[in-house]
Structure 1
C-alpha cells in the first residue's frame, strides 16, 4: 500500500499549481465574482503559527468558493512601511529596506509551503515606489479637498519609538508597539479630517450586517457621538469666552467652577502673572501622570486655580477657573462647566478645594440635603434652584434649557464626537514621504501628480533622534517649488503606516498599473470585498481608516461604493503556555518546523480543528499529533481500496445491506453538514469533526466486510466525494488521491459535491424507552412503524419488561420515532 509521505506530496502539487497558474485570477469572468481577502502582515520577522491561522482560514474560503463556481480574487501583500520593520532593522544594524525584503522573501516561502492559494502575480508591498507613489497621490487628493491640513497641537509622544502616535495607538496610556508610557509634546503635524465623516461612519455601521456586533460596538464607542449644547462662559476681566460642550445643560444653574485640561492652550492665556511660576510646577507634575488613568473615577483629583473667574451665563455669578488633572484636552473642548452636585469627579474636586456645591436636581422620592451629601446625585429628578425651570423633570428640562440658551444667545444645540482627526505625521524614516513643499513665495504646496513619487532617499541615518531623519538630509530637503520654480524645502515627516493600509485592497485589483492607483471600472467590479478576515485588534484603527478613505474616494467619484468590506470575520489568537506567542516569551511555534515534522495538511487541519476559528485557542503538541494520526488513518483507508476502485464507475450503486446503506447515508450526511458548516459561519472545527466521523464509518465498514464482499461502486463514490470535501482543508492529500483515482483534472478545479437527499433517508430509528420519566432502554424500529408495533417491541425488551412486570400500566405516551414513556403504578 502506498505510504503517506507529506513532504513529497506537498512539494509535488505546489509545483503543479504554480506551473499551471491555477490560482491566477482573470480580471473578468462569466462566473460570479468573490473577493476573499486576509489582512496583510508587517514583514518585520518570520511567521509563527498564530499568524498562519489567518491565512489558512482565508484559504479554506477561497478553495471552497472556487469549487462552488466563483471567480475568486485571493491576493496577498505586505504592510511593509512603519515602526515594526524599522525598529527590527535598527536592532539588527541593517537598512530597513534590506531587512524588509529579506523578511518578505522568508514569509512568501513560508506561505507557499502551507499551500495557500494566492494569486502571486498580484503581490504588493507598500514600501515600493510604485505603491507609495499612489499613497502620496491619495494625500494630494485629500489636501486638494481640504481633508489634509497641518496644525500645531499637543500630541502623544513615545520616548522609546521617538515618534508621534495617534490616539488609537495609545493603549492604557502606553505605546501599543513597545509599551512605553506616552508623554505629551507640542508639534506641527499633518492631519486627515476624519471628523468630517464621523456621522456617516457611525450611521453606516447599521448597513454592515456581515460584521461582528462587537466590532461595530467598538467603532461606535470610538466615534463616541454625544448630543447636547455648546455654552460660552465669559472670562471676567478679559475680552474672551470659554466654550464648553455638555450633554447636561439641565445642570447649568449648578455650575460653581470651571475646569480646563492641563494641555489646553487656554491655560497660558488665562493664568495671572503672579501664578505662572507655580503653574509650571503643577503642569510638570501632571505631565508625569498617566493621561488616561488620571481621568478615572478612582484617581486622585488635582487642580490649580488660575487666578481668573468666569461668569455663569444664567446666574451672573463669578466662578473660579481651575486647571484639573481629570480633564483631557482630546475630549469636547478641553474645558468643562463643573457641577459638583451632579458629577462625581466634580464632587470630589469641589470637596478637596472647598468649592460650593449647589443642588439643582432633587430626588423626588427622597429629598437631598446638600450639607449631608456624600456623593453626587447623577440620576434624573426634579429641577430646583434653576430659575424658570423649577418643578419640571430634568429630562424634560434639557431641550427647554437649550432653547432658552439659544434665545439668550449664550449657547446652541450641538453634536460632538469623541473621534479626533487622524494624525498622520511620523518623525521616522521608514514611511512614505509626505508630498508637500514649503515655498517662501507660495507657502505650502502639494507636489503635483506628475512629480510623484517623492522618493524616500536610501542613504540616510535612520536612527530615532526625536526629529525626522529626513530633516538632516539636505539633498532631500532642498527642491524647487512646483508652482513658481523658486527654491523650496520638502516636508521631512513621513506618513503613518495606517495610510498605506487604508487603501491596499484597491491596489490588488490593478497591482501593476503605472498611470493611476487603480482602474475605476475594475474596482467597481471586484469591490467591496466579499469576505475580509483578520484580527479584532484592528477593529478601531485599520478598519475605521479604511472605511473613511473609501468614503472619501467615493465622494471624489473614483469608486461607486462607500464601504470597503461587506463581510468581516475576526479570528481568535493561538496561545502557547497560556501566553500569546512572541519571541520575547520564547513560546513561538514555527510553521516550518511543523511542516517538516507533520506536513502542511496536518498543520492546516489542526489549526482549524483546535477551536471555533473566532475563539482563542491553546497550542497542543499532542493535538497536532492526533490530527496527523487522523490523516494517516484516512489515507490508509483510502489506499487499502484505491487500486480496486480505480477503474470502477460510481454511476450505478446497489446497496445490498444495512452496513452499506449506513455508510452511504453517512457520506451524504457529511457532505451536507460540511457544506452547512462552511457556509453557516466558518464552523471549520465541526466540519473537520464531520470528516473524522465519516472516516470512522469508513473504517467500520472495512472492518466488518470481507474483501470479496466490498461494494466497489459505493467505495468509488465514497473516496471520490471524500477527496472533494477534504480538499479545502488538506489540499495536497486530496490532490494526490484525486490523481491516483485516475482523474486527469486537478481537484482544485472540480465542483463541490452535492448531497443526495434520498441517501439521507433512514430505514430505522432509535426510540428511547422511559418508565415514569426515567430512561430504561432503547429500541430500533422501522421508520414507518405504527404506535402498536412500537409498544409491542418495547414491552418485549427484557430491560423494559423487568420494570413493568406485575405493575399496572396507567398510560403510554408515544412521540413518533423518538420516545415511548410508560407510566406505571
Structure 2
C-alpha cells in the first residue's frame, strides 16, 4: 500500500460527496430525524482553530447519527450583517455587501476543505433581501401583537462604533466590539417586549434537561425574577410621592435613607427645591459616561445628597434624606430604593461614608436585647424583628407577608413581581442591518410598511463616514416616501435592527431556506424542530440563547411552529488557546488552519481538536499533539496491509475471543461517549487501544476473518472523526457504498463480559498467588475462593483481615492485622 497522501485523498472524497449529494437531505415522514446545528459564523474572512474545533464537534454528532440510520439535517449559513463590514466600508472604500460576499466565498471554501458534512443546499446569508425580508415581516407581526414599541430611553452609546448597544453588549463599560468606553444618551429607540415572556423563559428551563447547568443559572440570574413591594415615600412639603422597590419589606422600619438613580425624574422635577442642584447635575453627567454594568459592579460607591428635600418613612413617620448614586439603575424597579444599612452590606458602607444613622430591625433569635445599634457590623441572616413597633418578635422569615399585608391595608404600597430582564433594545444607527419597516407620517403617526411592499431594501446610495446619524439618512431615495395610509409625504425609519434579530430565528429558515412566500413552511419546520443538538460558545448564554428562545415562543404564538423551545440539547465548547492565552489576531498567537491542513491534512486538524481535550473544556494548541494525531492516522493506514498479510500462526478460540471482546468493548465505549457523554477524546483513545491490540495480534488472515472484521470496525468507529481516511480505506476494502452512510456497528454485551478472569492476590504488599473467578463474582464469593486456595490460605492462617480490597477484574489486596 502506498503512503497516505492526505491532499489527494481528501480532495477526492470531497468531490465524490458533492457529486453524489451524500449529505443532502429532505423530510422523510416516519423516519427518525436528527437536527444538528453549530452557531452560524460571522464572515470575518478567515477560519481560526476555534472554528475548526466547533465545526468538527458538530460533524461528529451529524455523521454518527447518520450512520445510526437517522435522517440528519446539518446546515451552514452566515450571520452576515454587522458593524465590521460597515467599518471595512469606511476604511477601505468598499461596499459592505461586496466585502461580506468576498469573505463568505473564502470561508465557504475553507469549510469544504475540512470535509464537514453540510447540506450546502441549505446555505443562506442573513444580509440578503430574501432573508431580511422576513425579519421585517416578523417585526410587523410583533407590532400588531403589541410586542414592538418606540420610546425615548437612556441607552448605551459607543462613540467609536457610532451606534446604540444593548446592555448585554457592554462589558465593564466597554463596547463588546471595539472596547471603547461607552456613554449614556437619551434617544428615541425601538424595543421588543421580551419582558412579556420573562416568566415563560424561566419556566422553560424545566424542559432543557440537555443544557449545561451553568447556562441555565446565567439565564436565571439575567432574567432576575424577584418578589417584593412598591412602597410610596412622601417627599415632605411637596405633595409628591417617591416610589421605591424592595424585596425586603420586613426591614421597612430600618430604612434610614432613600437612593435614586441619577436619571430619576425627581431630580429635574424638583430642581428648584434642590439647593445643590448644580452639583447634582454635574454628577448626573459623570454617571452618564458609565455603563450599567460598570455602575453596579463598582466597589467604591459614590453619591450626593439632594439637599433641600427629604422623604417620609411611612412606617415610622420620620423624615429621612434622599441621595442620588450611580449604583442605582433607572431601568431596575422604580429607579429608587430604600436603604437599610443595618442589614445590607452596600447600604452599610454608604451609610458609614455619609454618616447616616443605622437602625437594627432584625436580630439573631439567640439574642435577647433590641436596642438601636449604630456602629455594629451588619446582620444579614434570618432572625426576629426588633425596633419594628407592633411587629417586634415576629420571625423575619414570616415578616415579608405580614408586613406586606399591613402596608397594603395602610394604602402606601403593593406587592409586585419584578425582573432584571429589560425590553430588548433593537435600534441601531448604522447601515449594514435590516431596515426597520416603519414609516413616520405627520398625519397618521408611525405606521408599518404594507407586507406586499416587503422587503424594504437597503439603499445603494448611502454615504459611509462613520460619524453622525444613521447612513440611511443620507439616502434621499430611501428616506422620502408616501404614507401607505393617507398618501401624503412621509419619512422612512432610518434605524436598522440589532443583528441578534437575524440569529434569533435562522435555525427555522434552514428547514425551508428557499421559500419566497413565507419565512418557512410550518410543516417542514415542525418536522425538523426542535434542534436536537446545538453547539456554540457559553458567551451567548444571555444574548443569543435568550433571544432565540423568546423568538421561538413568539413564532409558536403566531401559530407557525408547535414547540416551545428551539434547542433540545446544548453543548458549549471550550476555547482554543496557545500557551494558555486565547488565540487572537491582536495577540499575534493565531495558528492558521490552512497551514495545518496543507502539511498534515484536514483529518489531522479535526482529530487533534477532538482528541486533545473534552469538547466543553479549554484546548491548548500543541504541535506535538498535532504530529501525534498524524502518526495515529498513518498507523490506521498501514494496518490495511498488516491485516491482509498471511501469517504462519493459527488463532485459538481464546485469541479470537480476546480480540472480539476488545472490539465489542470499544464499540460500546465509542457509542456511549459520542451519544451520551460527549467525550470524544476518550472515544478516540479507546479506538487507539483497539488499534494497538490489532498491531500485537499475530493471527491476521489465519483467524477466520476476525482481524479483518476488527479492522473494519476501526474504520467505522473513526469515520465521524477522520472521514476522508476512512472513506479511502473503506473503498480499498471493496465496499461499494460510502462508509459515511454505512450502518454504525453494534456491540454484543455478552461478548464484552468475560466468563472468567485471573486475579493476582496481594497480602501485606506481597504477591501470594492468583485465582480464577467469574467476572460477575461478588466480593464475598471472591473471599470464599481465596479461602479454599491452599497456597494463599496458608498466609492467612491464624491472622485477622484488617482490610479486603477487591478491584473487580483487576486485583485483590489483603491487609492483615499486625
1:337 and 1:304 map into 2 onto residues whose CA distance is 14
Shift of 1:808: 5.8
Counterpart residue number, 2:663: 667
Aligned counterparts of 1:430 and 1:353: Cα–Cα separation in 2 = 49
For the residues of structure 2 that align with 1:627 and 1:232, how far apart are their CA atoms? Answer: 68
Over 3 Å counting, the alpha-carbon distance change for 1:508 and 1:291 in structure 2 is: closer
The answer to whether residue 432 in structure 2 is matched with residue 441 in structure 1 is no
State the secondary structure of the residue aligned to 2:18.
Answer: helix
User: Who is 2:422 aligned against?
Assistant: 420
Aligned residue for 1:379? 381
Q: Deviations over 1:25-49 (max 9, x none)?
A: 1123442111111100011221111
**1:314 alignment partner, SS class:** coil
1:771–1:824 CA contact under 8 A, matched in 2: no
Taking the TM superposition and a 5 Å limit, the aligned residue runs for 1:451-462 are 451-462=453-464
What's the secondary structure of 1:509's corresponding residue?
A: helix
The correspondence for 1:726, drawn from 700, 706, 718, is: 718
| Residue number in structure 2 paired with 1:781 | 772
> Are 1:225 and 2:205 matched, yes or no?
no
Contact 2:370 2:387 in 1 (8 A): no
Structure 1: stretches of 5+ with no match in the other structure: 646-653
Q: Tell me the distance in 2 between the aligned counterparts of 1:713 and 1:532.
A: 40
Give, in angstroms, the shift of residue 721 of structure 1: 1.8
Q: Decide whether aligned partners of structure 1 residues 121 and 605 sit closer, same or farther in structure 2, where only a CA change above 3 A counts.
A: same
TM-score of the superposed pair, with normalisation by structure 1 = 0.93
| Whole-Å separation in 2 of the counterparts to 1:824 and 1:313 | 75
Deviation larger for 516-525 or 779-788? 779-788
Structure 1 equivalent of residue 46 of structure 2: 46
In the alignment, is the contact (CA less than 8 A) between 2:185 and 2:288 conserved in 1? Answer: no
Aligned partner of 1:561 in structure 2 is: 563
User: Aligned equivalents of 1:213 and 1:16: distance in 2?
Assistant: 42
Alpha-carbon distance, 1:791 to partner: 5.0
1:687 aligns with 2:683: yes
**1:655 to partner: Cα distance:** 5.2
What aligned pairs does 1:607-626 form with structure 2 within 5 A after superposition?
607-626=609-628
User: 2:82, 2:768 → 1: CA distance?
Assistant: 67
Equivalent residue in structure 2 for 1:534, among 511, 533, 536: 536
Match of 1:104 in 2: 104
Q: Aligned match of 2:577 in 565, 575, 578?
A: 575
Report the Cα distance in structure 2 between the residues aligned to 1:770 and 1:625, rounded to whole angstroms: 41
For the structure 1 residues 622 and 519, does the alpha-carbon distance in structure 2 shift closer, same or farther, using more than 3 Å as the test? same
Q: Equivalences for 1:389-538 in 2 at 5 Å?
A: 389-538=391-540
For residues 821 and 355 of structure 1, the distance between their equivalents in structure 2, rounded to whole angstroms, comes to: 70
CA contact (8 A) 1:804 1:824 kept: no
C-alpha separation between the residues in 2 aligned to 1:103 and 1:89?
13
Residues 765 and 643 (structure 1), Cα distance of their counterparts in 2 relative to 1, 3 Å cut: closer
Does structure 2 retain, via aligned residues, the 8 Å contact 1:551–1:562?
yes
1:717 aligned to 2:709? Answer: yes
Which residue of the other structure, out of 740, 746, 766, is the alignment partner of 1:748? 740
Q: Which residue of 2 aligns with 1:605?
A: 607
| Structure 2 unmatched runs, 5+ | none
What is the alpha-carbon distance in structure 2 between the residues aligned to residue 293 and residue 337 of structure 1? 21
Give the secondary structure class of the aligned counterpart of 1:485: coil
Residue 668 of structure 2: SS of its match in structure 1? helix
Cα distance, 1:667 vs. partner?
1.4
Q: Is the 8 A contact 1:173 1:182 kept in 2?
A: yes
Question: 1:591-602 alignment to 2 at 5 Å?
Answer: 591-602=593-604
- CA–CA distance in 2 between the matches of 1:288 and 1:695? 62
1:544 pairs, out of 524, 543, 546, with 546
TM superposition shift of 1:621: 0.5
Q: 1:270 aligns to what?
A: 270
Distance 2:184 2:320 in 1: 29
Displacement after TM superposition at 1:162 (Å):
1.4
**Deviation at residue 720 of structure 1 after TM alignment:** 1.8
For residues 777 and 425 of structure 1, what CA distance do their matches in structure 2 show?
Answer: 79
Contact 1:272 1:306 in 2 (8 A): no
* Aligned match of 1:175: 175
CA–CA distance in 2 between the matches of 1:262 and 1:421? 21
More displaced stretch, 319-328 vs 594-603? 319-328
Q: Deviations over 1:552-579 (max 9, x none)?
A: 1111212111111111111111101221
Question: Could you tell which deviates more after superposition, 321-330 or 344-353?
Answer: 344-353
Cα distance change on mapping 1:667 and 1:182 into 2, 3 Å: same
Q: Corresponding residue for 1:261?
A: 261
Whole-Å Cα distance in 2 between the matches of residues 408 and 41 of structure 1? Answer: 57
Q: 1:550 to 1:775 in 2, by over 3 A?
A: farther
Q: Given that residues 39 and 534 in structure 2 are in contact (C-alpha distance below 8 angstroms), is that contact kept between their aligned partners in structure 1?
A: yes
**Structure 2 CA distance for aligned equivalents of residues 577 and 527 of structure 1:** 40
Per-residue CA shift, 1:426-454, capped at 9, x if unaligned?
A: 11111001111100110000112111111
Structure 2 equivalent of residue 736 of structure 1: 728
Q: Is the 2:59–2:116 Cα contact (8 Å) retained in structure 1?
A: yes
Contact 1:245 1:336 in 2 (8 A): yes
| CA contact 1:602–1:624 (8 Å) conserved in 2 | yes
Distance 1:787 1:22, change over 3 A: closer
Post-superposition offset of 1:525:
1.4
CA distance in structure 2 between the partners assigned to 1:787 and 1:409 by the alignment: 77
* Structure 2 contact 40–77 (Cα < 8 Å) conserved: yes
- What's 1:334 paired with? 335
Can you list the C-alpha shifts for 1:653-692, whole angstroms capped at 9, x where unaligned? x952533332222112111111111122211000100111
CA deviation map 1:379-409 (0-9, x unaligned): 3332233232122122222111111111122
